[in-house]
A and B are shown apart, each in its own frame.
Chain A
Amino acid sequence: MQHVVIGAGPSGVIAAETLRKLQPKASVTLVGDEPEAPYSRMAIPYFLVKQIAEQGTHLRKTADHFAKREIKVLQKRVEGLDRAARQLTLAGGDKLAYDNLLIATGSRPVSPPIPGIDLPGVTSCWTLADARRIAATAKPGARVVLMGAGFIGCIILEALAKSGATLTVVEMEGRMVPRMMNDTAGNMIKDWCQEHGVTVHTSTKVNAIEKHGNALRVVLNSGATVDVDLVVSATGVRPNIELVKDSGIATDQGILVNRQMQTNDPSIFAAGDVAQGIDFSTGEYSVQAIQPTAADHGQLAARNMAGQKGALHRGCVNMNVLDTLGLISSSFGLWMGKAGGDSAELLNRERYRYLNLQFEDDVLVGATSLGLTQHVGVLRGLIQTKTRLGAWKDKLVADPTRIMEAYLASTQAVGFNAGVLK
């Protein structure tokens, strides 16, 4: 059996390792086009603030990790897919045959159609190569504009601000992290940033970027201009589906997969940022583009490629955690609520504390938190187990912080704990 995995990000690496574990004799090849050891994009912010060296971003820490597991790693771009011949064409013309193929090519930043977006000094923050470029410029005293305050933008925001640069953030929508947080939370994060010396313009667009002497001039739709040394663009990402274009593989936003992470070609699977998998909360297929989902997809796809029965994709809970200059926020599932559902809320603006729970009947379906660092994961647990909270729902409405008690009382119903906490 010849397994080939395209993309050496977390999804591809976990898949390759899982394949090796399940099928000790199969051939496993991992093809990635970045000139780096397999690394984690998520670690880039910590590299930017010099908390870790480049090596600290690597997904696996020993040089012989893949060789020891007899996983062949190729640093090549896959340029062609011939489904009939079950064969890939690599950059340079080499061919690579497969029995089972996993496409884990991730996503890439979209470049907004703004005059000047291609000027030197304008960059995205997606790869280690980008990070090296940013680290060389974003130093104390440097002036930086960050375009986009979505999830990825906000993660980079922290690193850019910590690097000592003077930072201005420009977000098109009316609040920060609009696809992860509601108005209350998004605006509290904005207030927090402003209090911590970061200028944030929401409901504002960048109209153009112009060369201005040795610097760049960023023209906003308000007419105002900001002169900077660096523009970091974080205006969204798009799945890398070009490889399967015209191949007959079904795509929508991303590559469409079934409950086995399989595409409409039974020998081709997809996982991670490039795959349109099941969202646990909506039951619909969507691209989540987050690390935990990439990891889950990779493992599931591999189990199915190895022929395991019953390894069914039941949906991933969409979830995010952010640290914005020390203000920690998270959101889970249907944080925006569900029609016909109800909610519980605790808000303390002065102390930057917020907890919002969304219910359907007596089941937790979504949550948003600010300033919560203890036992946050239980929000995921309650959502994913669809635990019926019974009488605990009213207790949570009265005091949403009692999530852990609600969880313990509702789930520890066997063994020594039977009935004790009912």
Chain B
Amino acid sequence: MLKALQLEPEKCTGCLQCEMACSFENEGVFNPSKSRIKVFNFHDEGRFAPYTCSQCAEAWCMHACPVEAIVINPKTGAKDVLESVCVGCKVCTIACPFGTVNYNADTGKVAKCDLCGGDPACASACPTGAITYVDAEHTGLERMRAHAAQSIPKA
């Protein structure tokens, strides 16, 4: 069964362990600005919300790519960016309505969450259980995704 990242902002304390783990796993550096998961800080309310790609079924990024550089990983179901194919045109970064594909000027390519190939470092690093890697049908998650998808009409 496919698994997915479950994000529970109410458990997040804003420690940024996930961003550190992500950037180290994927870029080899401890640099939150290179992380594919991002913790948003609602300072007025003293709240935090981790957020990343939900591997949505619509895959807006994948369909917009002009050179087939984004493909579905058969093992994880994630939409993976093939760095060797990506030309860095950034069309996917404006096509993704969730804002979860980002351009990296250092590499000239885009980066997005690929679930670390099936063992997401952010989930392992999160000390509070705000990020867990669970069966995709786990309660709530499908609804969350369905909500995200429904809210955007297909062209």
Q: Do A and B bind each other?
A: yes
Contact between chains at A313 and B155 (CB < 8 Å):
yes
Among residues 76 to 102 in chain B, which have CB atoms less than 8 Å away from a CB atom of chain A?
Answer: 85, 87-102
Q: Provide the residues of chain A in CB contact with B116, threshold 8 Å.
A: none
Q: Interface digits, A293-306 against B, CB 8 Å rule (1 contact, 0 not)?
A: 10111011000000
Stretch in A52-60, A78-86, A201-209 touching the partner: A52-60
Contact between chains at B66 and A416 (CB < 8 Å):
no
A397 at the binding interface (Cβ < 8 Å): no
B64 at the binding interface (Cβ < 8 Å): yes
| A384, A409, A415, A417 — most chain B CB neighbours (10 Å) | A415
| The one of A315, A403, A415 that contacts B147, using a Cβ cutoff of 8 Å | A415
Among residues 63 to 96 in chain A, which have CB atoms less than 8 Å away from a CB atom of chain B?
Answer: none
Q: Provide the residues of chain B in CB contact with A330, threshold 8 Å.
A: 90, 94
CA distance in complex: A381, B10 (Å):
24
CA distance in complex: A387, B150 (Å):
12
Contact between chains at B91 and A378 (CB < 8 Å):
no
Q: Interface digits, B1-45 against A, CB 8 Å rule (1 contact, 0 not)?
A: 000001111100000000000000000000000000010111001
CA distance in complex: A10, B6 (Å):
35
Shortest CB–CB separation between residue B98 and chain A, in angstroms? 6
Q: How large is the interface on A (under 10, 10 to 19, 20 to 34, 35 or more residues)?
A: 35 or more
A interface residues, Cβ below 8 angstroms from B: 10, 14, 40, 42-43, 46, 51-52, 56-61, 280, 291-293, 295-297, 299-300, 311, 313-316, 319-321, 323, 326, 328, 330, 332, 373-381, 384-385, 387, 403-405, 407-409, 411-417, 420-421
Contact between chains at B98 and A381 (CB < 8 Å):
yes
B interface residues, Cβ below 8 angstroms from A: 6-10, 38, 40-42, 45, 47, 49, 51, 60, 63-64, 66-68, 85, 87-105, 108, 140-141, 143-144, 147-148, 151-155
CA distance in complex: A195, B74 (Å):
47
Beyond contacts A323-B90, A385-B97, A417-B9: 11 other A-B pairs, Cβ-Cβ < 8 A, are: A56-B85, A57-B67, A280-B155, A291-B64, A292-B95, A295-B64, A377-B99, A409-B42, A411-B148, A416-B6, A420-B10
| The one of A51, A379, A409, A416 that contacts B144, using a Cβ cutoff of 8 Å | A416
Instruction: Provide a sorted-by-A list of 13 A–B residue pairs whose CB atoms are within 8 angstroms.
Output: A56-B85, A59-B67, A292-B95, A296-B155, A315-B155, A319-B94, A321-B90, A330-B94, A373-B104, A377-B95, A380-B97, A408-B40, A421-B9
Contact between chains at B155 and A404 (CB < 8 Å):
no
Contact between chains at A326 and B67 (CB < 8 Å):
no
Contact between chains at A415 and B155 (CB < 8 Å):
no
Contact between chains at A412 and B153 (CB < 8 Å):
no
CA distance in complex: A403, B98 (Å):
11
Across the two chains, which residue of chain B brings its CB closest to A310? B154
Shortest CB–CB separation between residue B102 and chain A, in angstroms? 5
CA distance in complex: A77, B12 (Å):
59
Contact between chains at A415 and B91 (CB < 8 Å):
no
CA distance in complex: A280, B42 (Å):
31
Contact between chains at A380 and B47 (CB < 8 Å):
no
